[in-house]
C-alpha cells in the first residue's frame, strides 16, 4: 500500500476526525479510502448510465424487458 501526504482544509480535517471519533472508521486513512471507493463506484454507474442513454430507445415491450431481466438473473444465479 502506498503512503501519501495530503493537506486538508480545517473543515475537512474536522469532518474526518468526527468520522473516526464516531468509531465507524479506525483511522482517517480508512475514511479516505472509503470515499475513494464510493467515488469510483459512482463513476462506474455514471458511465453505465451514459452508455445506456447513448444506446437509444428499445423496441421491446415492458413484458419482453421483464422476461429478459428475469432470464439474466436466473443465469447469473447459476454462476
Where is pLDDT greater, at 1 or 26?
A: 26
Domain spans in the chain, listed from the N-terminal domain onward: 10-78
pLDDT for res 39: 98
pLDDT band, very low/low/confident/very high, at 79 (cuts 50, 70, 90): confident
pLDDT for res 49: 96
CA atoms within 13 A on the CB side of 73: 6
pLDDT for res 64: 96
Amino acid at each position: 500500500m502506498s503512503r501519501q501526504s495530503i493537506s486538508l482544509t480545517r473543515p475537512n480535517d474536522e469532518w474526518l476526525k468526527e468520522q473516526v471519533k464516531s468509531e465507524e472508521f479506525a483511522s482517517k486513512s480508512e475514511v479516505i479510502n472509503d470515499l475513494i471507493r464510493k467515488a469510483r463506484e459512482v463513476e462506474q454507474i455514471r458511465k453505465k448510465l451514459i452508455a445506456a442513454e447513448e444506446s437509444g430507445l428499445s423496441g421491446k415491450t415492458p413484458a419482453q424487458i421483464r422476461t429478459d431481466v428475469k432470464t439474466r438473473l436466473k443465469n447469473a444465479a447459476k454462476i
